[in-house]
A and B are shown apart, each in its own frame.
Chain A
Amino acid sequence: MNMLTEGRPTKQEENIVMPEQAALKTHTGNRALMVDEPLIFETGSPDRSGVDLPEAPAVESRLGGLDRDEAISIPGLSEAEAVRHYTRLSRQNYAIDVGLFPLGSCTMKHNPRLNERMARLKGFSDIHPLQPVDSVQGALETIYQLADWLKTLTGMPAVAMSPKAGAHGELCGILAIRSALEARGDAREVILVPESAHGTNPATAAFAGYKVEDIPANAAGRVDLDALKARLGPDVAGVMITNPNTCGLFEPDMKAISDAVHDAGGLVYCDGANFNAIVGRVRPGDLGIDAMHINLHKTFSTPHGGGGPGSGPVVFSEALAPYAPLPFVERSEDGHFHLVEEETAEDHHESSFGRMVAFHGQMGMFTRALTYMLSHGADGLKQVSEDAVLNANYVLRSMEDLLEAPFAKSGPCMHEALFSDNGFANGLTTLDLAKGLIDEGYHPMTMYFPLVVHGAMLVEPTETESKAAIDQFIGALRSVAERAKAGDELLKSAPHFAPRRRLDETQAARKPILVWQEPEEYAEAAE
């Protein structure tokens, strides 16, 4: 008997003609795994559904005569179609799970999957915020434990847990400052914010009714202490300082800044977005600050989810603790947990500035963050900040001969390395370099921020990247940087290999199309 030994041909035939990439067209326009996905409005139908429901009881409705008679026009998909729709779309996304995500100030670290499993325990995920407190003692204890971790890690005596994200936490801190000042009859109107601050800082101060003034930076990328002192006075309610700052540098004068602000009767807000650089190694409470928000979705690894949800608890000094918003959790001597809210707020909470949000904050993020903290422990968290700082300095020193690092001479950076576009040729910009990195398989760094550096590029590798992964990234970044300095025209049209080429953002803003319209409506709009 003859065995068939040939098998499937796996070897390419010799002397085959390889056409130019550009000449290759597919019938669908797709390229193997890179598949375009239509909108649900183009494939779905209002009378199709991926959900089977039981029959409703045969009774008369009591909707007050307001039945919805007109079409809603929301299409449905079967489950099979829906899973494929979202899976295909997901493959057009870059994510931490896909690769190194060096987005400065955003702390894109690995999101442990144990966190996800814990958040989904029914005792956390399937409880209602208004259940009687005796039926949610475990949830209140979880909040209490997380609060305790946050207070210990920051060396601050109080924490407000309800703010929904970083900017909401900023608002919480600024409202507490304003409440404290008002309580002593001091109507100050100005908040000072460094030029290098994240845009949420001035926006928050304005949202809370304050006037915003800039504090200049000195040549070393830090707050200009003398300029700050000169501006302090009876009209200044306080300062908002990011430390480590947005240039990736520690503010060595932080304590002096705090003292000066306090001496002038003001209060100190610290933006804790960059806490990852110092967690477990430095306690912000030792720097004289009065309030600081902590982004659980940065330092404590809760997933960014394509733009939230975040969570922004705010730690407070003794001076601000009495003004913290409702609700919060207290523990009595018998080990029972109380929820202090409108119904139960008693005399000792009368100066609270009130409620910032319905219910009690981002419980689903609390469980994830507490899981992360328990996993790392005090020793692991210290290692987190040290490895984050080590990785950033490794990038800084591996790049500074090629990319200008404006503040590198003044010493090491913290958890992120800052570069400028100085020396790019042929009109190439930071944006071009960023898009070139996309072709190399990376999400770009933060671009054009902070504003104090021309064409800023802010690289934050985080502690969850291996040396091999960082070396590979450095290789890619060096290659693209060399092309930018050599004036490589092809960078101007990058990315070439992403699911989309450069998108026209000007057109999007000039004539905004924010919802899908039937094709005939598009046609009308074009006329």
Chain B
Amino acid sequence: MRYLPLTPNDRQDMLATIGANSIDDLFVDVPEEVQLDGPIRDLPMHAGEMAVEAHMKKLAKNNSAAGDMPFFLGAGAYRHHVPASVDHIIQRGEFLTAYTPYQPEIAQGTLQTLFEFQTQVARLFGVDVANASMYDGSTACWEAIVMARRITKRGKAILSSGLHPHYVSVAKTMARFTKDQLVSEVPALEAATDGADLLNQIDDDTSCVVVQYPDILGRISDMSALAEKAHSHKALLIAVVTEPVALGAIKAPGDMGADIVVGEGQSLGVGLQFGGPYVGLFGCKQKYVRQMPGRLCGETVDAEGKRGFVLTLSTREQHIRREKATSNICTNSGLCALAFTAHMTLLGEKGLRELAMLNHKKAVVAVDRLTKIDGVSLLNGSFFNEFTLVLDKDTRPIVRKLADQKILAGVSLGRLYPDAGELAHGLIVAITETTCDEDVEALVAALEGELA
């Protein structure tokens, strides 16, 4: 067995040192009736690299990889080009196979990259501070709602209808057990967001308003009025960003008054990976820092006065506070955070702005082309790299049929909102720097075929 260094002789020598006759002597505490008498049944025996590789390749081949065909899916996960050096960096064994940096003297590599990550995320979001990452955007969103409850001591959260439906589902699942009250609706197929409705719903019982930016249909709205209204009722504004590249082109949520900004960082460095692992981003105003969940890296000095970094404010965390912790989160998404920060460092502000405008303007061109198709209209008044097309029929069968033709056309709103009737006519289409003109033409031709 190539991963196990002990030889039969080693094992005998070690048993002798221990004073045991056989390995079974070391399992005496396990009642005999639950010990298996040999290798577990119904599973194969060990295999070499070639055999395992063949098995896994066969599974991988039975998937349509995005890079092999015209591809337009978004809705919370985006296909961006990840520079070659990012994957090299995260495969450095010193990063890949390190543990959480609990011994800071020999973990400055991880800690400094986390400090840089936190600073990048805070600046991108336009807030004062950010943590060292969460599992993903959806769980970060729920943690933000819980944090708002702790701060305001109120239990009613108002969710915008433009919030990703999976994020809404996660919050609903949790709220059922924590007795938080959630107000939420499915989105209307309109160019206008529900900002005006949300304004009217904020009252003195409200802990927070949760708004996705850009929202699930790709719409961008100014959140300043919501922030003002929320603050006038001592409630918080939580902004959710599922496409961080957008913030290279549009105003930062923090600059519009958001108190907590969370997001999905997958777009930078991480890749699609069928939904995980991703990386949750979490930032907030300085005054709320002690109510944040998750790990935080902070600057300090060592015994010789040299600058160094440590995990800090751990009195919020489960390993110190146990049942009184701000969250039960322990392992977060360290390596994906490294991928995010390395990609961001390669971009810099200049590269991020260029990438964002490239995404947006390619989307503008694609919108103009796609809306020339008879029976296709654009929902959005504004958008970044993702928009919703409205067709005159259910888009679910069309998406499936086009996938059979090797065109991955987008995400049908029918899949995300299965019980919402008309919404199934909506198709969310994402365009990134990886989308080429031929891809758009292929989608146009295929949609024309379906709608003819």
- Indicate if B450 sits at the interface (CB-CB under 8 A): no
Mask of A126-154 contacts with B, CB within 8 angstroms, 1/0: 11111110111111011001000100110
- Indicate if A427 sits at the interface (CB-CB under 8 A): no
Smallest Cβ distance from B96 to chain A, in angstroms?
5
Closest to A145 in B: B59
B66 lies within 8 A of A127 (CB)? yes
- Indicate if B187 sits at the interface (CB-CB under 8 A): no
- Indicate if A164 sits at the interface (CB-CB under 8 A): yes
- Indicate if B250 sits at the interface (CB-CB under 8 A): yes
A92 lies within 8 A of B106 (CB)? yes
Known contacts A390-B6, A467-B14, A501-B304: A68-B251 contact under CB 8 Å: yes
B255 lies within 8 A of A502 (CB)? no
B3 lies within 8 A of A68 (CB)? no
- Indicate if A348 sits at the interface (CB-CB under 8 A): no
Smallest Cβ distance from B370 to chain A, in angstroms?
14
Known contacts A355-B169, A500-B108: A138-B361 contact under CB 8 Å: no
B94 lies within 8 A of A98 (CB)? yes
Chain A positions 426-469 with a Cβ under 8 Å from a chain B Cβ: 434-435, 438, 443-444, 449, 463-467, 469
B173 lies within 8 A of A355 (CB)? yes
- Indicate if B225 sits at the interface (CB-CB under 8 A): no
| Residues in A neighbouring B321, C-beta threshold 8 A | 199, 203
| Residues in B neighbouring A56, C-beta threshold 8 A | 354, 357-358, 360-362
Q: How far is the CA of A255 from the CA of B416 in the complex (A)?
A: 43
| Residues in A neighbouring B14, C-beta threshold 8 A | 390-391, 393-394, 467
- Choose among A129, A207, A360, A383 the residue that contacts B327 (Cβ–Cβ < 8 A): A207
| Residues in A neighbouring B319, C-beta threshold 8 A | 198-200, 449
A493 lies within 8 A of B56 (CB)? no
- Indicate if B109 sits at the interface (CB-CB under 8 A): yes
Query: Ordered nearest first, which 3 A-B pairs have the shortest CB separation?
Result: A76-B348, A359-B275, A305-B335
Mask of A250-283 contacts with B, CB within 8 angstroms, 1/0: 1010010000000000000000000000101111
Chain B positions 314-333 with a Cβ under 8 Å from a chain A Cβ: 314-315, 317-325, 327-333
Chain A positions 313-339 with a Cβ under 8 Å from a chain B Cβ: 325
- Choose among A76, A130, A311, A469 the residue that contacts B349 (Cβ–Cβ < 8 A): A76
Q: How far is the CA of A142 from the CA of B275 in the complex (A)?
A: 14
A282 lies within 8 A of B342 (CB)? no
- Choose among A83, A354, A493, A509 the residue that contacts B89 (Cβ–Cβ < 8 A): A83
B94 lies within 8 A of A63 (CB)? no
- Choose among B52, B62, B170, B338 the residue that contacts A114 (Cβ–Cβ < 8 A): B52
| Residues in A neighbouring B372, C-beta threshold 8 A | none
Q: How far is the CA of A129 from the CA of B41 in the complex (A)?
A: 33
Mask of B398-432 contacts with A, CB within 8 angstroms, 1/0: 01100110001001001110100000000000000
Q: Give the segment of B29-37, B204-212, B227-235 that binds chain A.
A: B29-37
Chain B positions 270-306 with a Cβ under 8 Å from a chain A Cβ: 271-277, 279, 289, 295-304, 306
- Indicate if A376 sits at the interface (CB-CB under 8 A): yes
Smallest Cβ distance from A178 to chain B, in angstroms?
6
Most B C-beta atoms less than 10 A away, residue of A93, A149, A208: A93
Smallest Cβ distance from A350 to chain B, in angstroms?
14
Smallest Cβ distance from A215 to chain B, in angstroms?
14
- Indicate if A499 sits at the interface (CB-CB under 8 A): yes
A sample of 17 cross-chain residue pairs with beta-carbon separation below 8 angstroms, ordered by A number, consists of: A46-B348, A53-B355, A63-B360, A72-B123, A94-B98, A96-B98, A121-B57, A153-B40, A164-B277, A168-B329, A304-B100, A361-B276, A463-B6, A467-B13, A503-B303, A505-B310, A514-B312
| Residues in B neighbouring A51, C-beta threshold 8 A | 83, 346-347, 351, 355
Known contacts A355-B166, A377-B45: A308-B333 contact under CB 8 Å: yes
- Choose among B48, B97, B132, B355 the residue that contacts A96 (Cβ–Cβ < 8 A): B97
A466 lies within 8 A of B173 (CB)? no
Known contacts A199-B325, A512-B296: A62-B382 contact under CB 8 Å: yes
- Indicate if A90 sits at the interface (CB-CB under 8 A): yes
- Indicate if A406 sits at the interface (CB-CB under 8 A): no
B177 lies within 8 A of A209 (CB)? yes
- Choose among B83, B105, B166 the residue that contacts A358 (Cβ–Cβ < 8 A): B166
- Choose among B63, B164, B367 the residue that contacts A137 (Cβ–Cβ < 8 A): B63
- Indicate if A165 sits at the interface (CB-CB under 8 A): yes
Mask of B72-88 contacts with A, CB within 8 angstroms, 1/0: 01011101000101011
Smallest Cβ distance from A489 to chain B, in angstroms?
14
B345 lies within 8 A of A62 (CB)? no
- Indicate if B11 sits at the interface (CB-CB under 8 A): yes
Mask of A359-398 contacts with B, CB within 8 angstroms, 1/0: 1111111010011001111111111101101110110111
Smallest Cβ distance from A34 to chain B, in angstroms?
11
Q: Give the segment of A2-10, A37-45, A478-486 that binds chain B.
A: A37-45
B27 lies within 8 A of A389 (CB)? yes
Q: How far is the CA of A396 from the CA of B77 in the complex (A)?
A: 48
Closest to A498 in B: B105
A138 lies within 8 A of B60 (CB)? yes
Q: How far is the CA of A308 from the CA of B329 in the complex (A)?
A: 11
| Residues in A neighbouring B120, C-beta threshold 8 A | 74
Known contacts A50-B85, A305-B95, A502-B105: A45-B348 contact under CB 8 Å: yes
- Indicate if B107 sits at the interface (CB-CB under 8 A): yes
- Choose among A57, A358, A387 the residue that contacts B365 (Cβ–Cβ < 8 A): A57
Q: How far is the CA of A502 from the CA of B138 in the complex (A)?
A: 37
- Indicate if B364 sits at the interface (CB-CB under 8 A): yes
| Residues in B neighbouring A411, C-beta threshold 8 A | 28-29
Known contacts A47-B350, A53-B351: A306-B100 contact under CB 8 Å: yes
- Choose among B221, B222, B327 the residue that contacts A203 (Cβ–Cβ < 8 A): B327
Smallest Cβ distance from B346 to chain A, in angstroms?
4
Q: How far is the CA of A86 from the CA of B1 in the complex (A)?
A: 34
B130 lies within 8 A of A250 (CB)? no
| Residues in B neighbouring A252, C-beta threshold 8 A | 29-31
| Residues in B neighbouring A170, C-beta threshold 8 A | 328
Smallest Cβ distance from B330 to chain A, in angstroms?
5
- Choose among A90, A287, A513 the residue that contacts B298 (Cβ–Cβ < 8 A): A513
A50 lies within 8 A of B351 (CB)? yes
Closest to B410 in A: A130
Q: How far is the CA of A183 from the CA of B191 in the complex (A)?
A: 42
| Residues in A neighbouring B166, C-beta threshold 8 A | 355, 357-359
| Residues in B neighbouring A175, C-beta threshold 8 A | 173, 177
Closest to A394 in B: B14
| Residues in B neighbouring A356, C-beta threshold 8 A | 139, 170, 173
- Choose among A128, A165, A282 the residue that contacts B30 (Cβ–Cβ < 8 A): A282
A377 lies within 8 A of B68 (CB)? no
B348 lies within 8 A of A390 (CB)? no
Known contacts A364-B276, A504-B300: A412-B64 contact under CB 8 Å: no
| Residues in A neighbouring B15, C-beta threshold 8 A | 390
A309 lies within 8 A of B177 (CB)? no
Smallest Cβ distance from A49 to chain B, in angstroms?
4
Q: How far is the CA of A377 from the CA of B40 in the complex (A)?
A: 9
B99 lies within 8 A of A363 (CB)? no
A64 lies within 8 A of B64 (CB)? no
Closest to B363 in A: A62
Q: Beyond A89-B109, A135-B403, A503-B309: 16 further Cβ-contacts under 8 Å?
A: A49-B350, A53-B358, A72-B124, A72-B247, A95-B94, A116-B91, A118-B52, A123-B63, A128-B272, A129-B274, A305-B336, A359-B166, A364-B276, A375-B46, A378-B44, A504-B300
Known contacts A131-B408, A306-B110: A73-B349 contact under CB 8 Å: yes
Smallest Cβ distance from A214 to chain B, in angstroms?
10
B346 lies within 8 A of A79 (CB)? yes
- Indicate if A420 sits at the interface (CB-CB under 8 A): no
Smallest Cβ distance from B277 to chain A, in angstroms?
3
| Residues in A neighbouring B162, C-beta threshold 8 A | none
